[in-house]
Structure 1
Amino acid sequence: MKVFVSVDMEGITGVAFTDEIDPSSKKEDYRKACEMMTREANAAIEGAFECGADSVLVCDAHAEGRNIIPELLEPRAELVRGEFRPFGMMEGIDGGFDCALFIGYHGRAGADPAVMPHSYSSRIIFRLKVNGAEFGETALNAALAGRFGIPVVFVSGDQTVCREAENAIHGVSTHITKKALSAGSISFENIKRTHQAIKEKVREAVRMRSARILRVVEPVTVELEFVRPIYADAASMMPSTERKDSRTLLIKVQDYVTAYKAFRAAFNLAYHFAY
């Protein structure tokens, strides 16, 4: 049995400050958050192996993909890291996996209350819709797994992303790692207790694999509402796009894999003007 694990940082237990998640930060807080992220990933990996997984592939899904500390990662797992990843937070996914886990995820852009909510970037994307439904990173990535026939069986993060996951993925198991009191404040339980709960819930979720595969109806229309018109200007240079208004772009393609890649290409074009 093969298990795919996508690990983000904003939803990791205890993380609450922006400099904790910023790879450019020189503070010890970021390095500590990387360790916390790695140990939380390990809890999920251990749960998967205890349930009989033969292999676990872990994608470092935060920012440039160099946050998980390789020497601290559970030694039986394989790690995907690197700045250029065509599938981004899902790099390494294909039809050979039996299920997927999302660890340390966060609420979509505009979610409230939620810890540092955004959809890829709060500086660039104001709102993301797929076939008219509002998507965050959880639904966006779960639908990519679904296109390969893979169910997302477990999601962890704050209470808002867990609710998003439950609304998007029928039967998914979730664990609330912290309670968002606002966009920048949280309350959370003992980290060791949280890791134990994640391991136990992952073990059961992988064993049961009862979550429904999230499938998006094709052809696909992606609606990207940017924060500034210049970002839409940049993204509109890409083929298969249609301008809806000054800040909003439509991408119409035949299948979800192409839609996912097109979204990332549009985002990267806009990113050039934002950073």
Structure 2
Amino acid sequence: MVDIDLPGDAGGHPVSLNNQVKEKFSQLIAHYLGPAWVGINPVNGKCQAIWLIDPVYADASGQSRAMTLLAAATHDLGQWLGHDSHFSHRFSRSPFYTGDSPTAYRWYRQHHRVYRLANLLSGVRAMTGQESYAKPRQQFSSGRELIMAVKARREEAERFKALSKDVEAELAGHLDQYDPELIQGVRVLWIREGRAARDETAFRHALKTGHRLRQAGQRMTDAAIIDAYEHAYTVAQEVGADGRKAELPPMKGPTPGK
């Protein structure tokens, strides 16, 4: 169900719909993605559209991958059609109302196709020029390889969690103010005397920058994190290259117009 908030004309007939809505319905129909039912408000020409879909199941908490897919499909259709973003989706007008209310929506049945959510969402995104994300599937040659991959990911997550807690403790206690390794605001980590751990230094500094932004209630933008990483890597290279060339890959896209 999508509640379309763009006003048209009084009358309750399809010609009463907002011109932009009519055009977009035409595009959906041309791509076999049109709604099964369209209900039109006879007073202001606003409307509701209903798509028939396969059943969507959820767990006891009301969550599931199918529910996430439903939310994405509803959002994409609604955004494109000019929906009422505050519509609850728990109650809607009924196409089967038989009362005599003069403000009852006038309903028009278009077809009886039932869509698979994934197909509906991918079709809408293809039609509107959006990229459909497909989660890459990893292939493992054996059960042992799968187990080792899961173990490696768990260990990586545990290391990151420990590092994150370490950084939070450091910031909470303001320890970096008295750190003798602090150079240009960066705590340089060392592999051995004269040889800096450049990537580890840069990663830790970027993480610290993200924590500071969060504590200050500011957005953790990609640009801010990348700048922090590049700055820390450059500092570590300057003081601890140990004969190595800088190996920092470009992390920002080209500037528009250049």
Which TM-score applies when normalising by structure 1? 0.18
Q: Which structure has more helix as a fraction of its residues?
A: 2
Which TM-score applies when normalising by structure 2? 0.19
Q: Radius of gyration: which is bigger?
A: 2
Q: Which structure has more strand as a fraction of its residues?
A: 1
